Amino acid sequence: MPELPEVEVLRLSLARRLPGRQIARVDVRSPALREPLDRKVLRSLLAGRSIERLRRRAKYLLIDVEGGSTLVIHLGMSGRLTLIDRDQPVVAHEHLALQLDGDQRLRLVDPRRFGLAFALPSATLEDDRHFAHLGIEPLGDELDGAYLRAQARGRRGPIKTFLMDGGVVVGVGNIYASEALWRVRVHPRRSVARIGAATWQRLADAARSTLSDAIAEGGTTLNDFSDGDGNAGYFQVSLAVYGQDGKACPRCGRTIRKIVQANRSSFYCPGCQH
């Protein structure tokens, strides 16, 4: 599943090319996504309007258009949003296409159909049910050790599960939580009640730096991810523990292990994570 860095990479790649372009037509090829595409609303709020800017909230890509509307896209498990030549043939699982002025179209392809695409007035975005419960963004100054420590107060669960709680901080998904914990030498099963103030700050810094490093390397392509031009990311080459079970830890040489937490695979080094 594309996580925050992949969505940010996608935003950056499209932000260089979409603002100022007019959406000439909205084509709903197949409405069957996690929530059915609403042809009427999409065409009413988007068609004939120019794209003003691209933003991101958590793992949602936000495309603001003139007139105060926003197209919201979530890639789900296998979604790809790419800018292509208009005369390229329609492909299987092409659910949504924005025909742009000139000779291009922006298409959403999602074979597994867990993605989302909907439009709404921009002013209502933060109150929408998809956004109202979300925690802070991890790349800004809001994320620090004091914030994490305050959010963990009264809890007893494992730190990895806590870091992945989108109601606390958004976008620290499975890959990046494992990598951040390795960077600060913290075992993914350690209770949040056993983490001190200094370690909380190190965790905040590690979460931010891990995500920032992934963005700089174009995201992590394990299966389906690509940016708006169809280019794969390369952060998977830099992964220290995620998916590396059975291999040597790049820091201490011990064999990396895999465990299951909350139905998700966690990877850690038993030699240097405690």
| Residues forming beta bridges with residue 96, ordered by sequence position | 28, 108
Catalytic residue among 2, 5, 138, 188: 2
Q: How many CB atoms lie within 10 A of CB 218?
A: 20
Catalytic residue among 53, 112, 185, 264: 264
Is 160 assigned a catalytic role?
A: no
Is 129 assigned a catalytic role?
A: no
Residue in the structure block whose two tokens are 């291999």: 247
Question: Cα dihedral angle (263, 269, 273, 274), rounded to 10 degrees?
Answer: 70
Catalytic residue among 3, 6, 137, 179: 3
Rounded Cα distance between 208 and 204, Å, is 6
Rounded Cα distance between 163 and 264, Å, is 13
Give the β-pairing of 104-109 and 264-268. unpaired
Rounded Cα distance between 97 and 82, Å, is 10
Rounded Cα distance between 56 and 165, Å, is 18
Catalytic residue among 56, 59, 107, 183: 59
Is 59 assigned a catalytic role?
A: yes
Rounded Cα distance between 16 and 117, Å, is 21
Q: Which residues are part of the catalytic machinery? A: 2-3, 59, 264
